[in-house]
Amino acid sequence: MYFFYIYTHNINMKKIKIINVFLLFGLSFLAHFMYKWFPCFITSVFFPVNESVWEHMKIIFTCSLIIGLIEYFILKIKHIEYENIIINTPIISILGITVYLVLYYSITSFIKESMLLNIALLLIVYIIMQLISYYILSSEHIKYEKAIGISITISCILLFGYLTYYPIKDKLFLDTEKNAYGIIKEE
């Protein structure tokens, strides 16, 4: 309850966006292990099932979805004016995934991949996402934003689910630690 009080007391949209960066970042570490801790169909769709780059993009999407839902209720409870809340989360998630992949492949073409690089990129992407989110929520109402936002969200969930069970044989989907694709059976 204390955290909720800190998160909502004397709050405005800018403060929410700053707090969201840290919440997204912290939640990402938990999300990384959810499938390992609770292996089932639901967690396989929303959380990484292996160490491929693609599977880790689920972290960006799922954490954004969770924080987006929390943000929606906070904005409602605190009567903070905003627009486009339903389309906001899927748009920033797709942009975040795209920015991450572009930066990741650009940088790793020059230097070796490392956990520190991946974590730093994730933080940079979350900052960019929250800046874009602030702009989207502060913009004029987008026509059909609810229908578009829900459609994009459902499409992303279906795509993540499909590609978890039927990954494309490409380096994006390859778990380089186990040299395998998709759900890897532990022996």
Instruction: Give the number of other Cβ atoms within 10 Å of residue 132's Cβ.
Output: 17
pLDDT of residue 3: 54
Percent of the residues in the chain that have a pLDDT greater than 90, as a whole number: 82
Going by pLDDT thresholds of 50, 70 and 90, the confidence category of residue 70 is very high
pLDDT of residue 185: 78
16-33-48 Cα angle (round to 5): 90
Q: Copy the structure tokens of residue 86.
A: 């339903």
pLDDT of residue 78: 87
The label of the residue with tokens 């990402």 reads: 28
Using CA atoms, how far apart are residues 91 and 113, in angstroms rounded to an integer?
Answer: 27
The residues with which 175 forms a beta bridge, in sequence order, are 180
Q: Copy the structure tokens of residue 125.
A: 């992407």
Question: How are the residues of the chain apportioned to helix, strand and coil, as percentages rounded to the nearest 5?
Answer: 70, 0, 25
pLDDT of residue 104: 95
Each residue's pLDDT tens digit, 100-145: 999 999 999 999 888 899 999 999 999 999 999 999 999 999 999 9
Using CA atoms, how far apart are residues 158 and 111, in angstroms rounded to an integer?
Answer: 34
pLDDT of residue 187: 57
Angle of helix 53-77 relative to helix 85-108, nearest 10 degrees, comes to 150
pLDDT of residue 37: 96
Percent of the residues in the chain that have a pLDDT greater than 70, as a whole number: 94
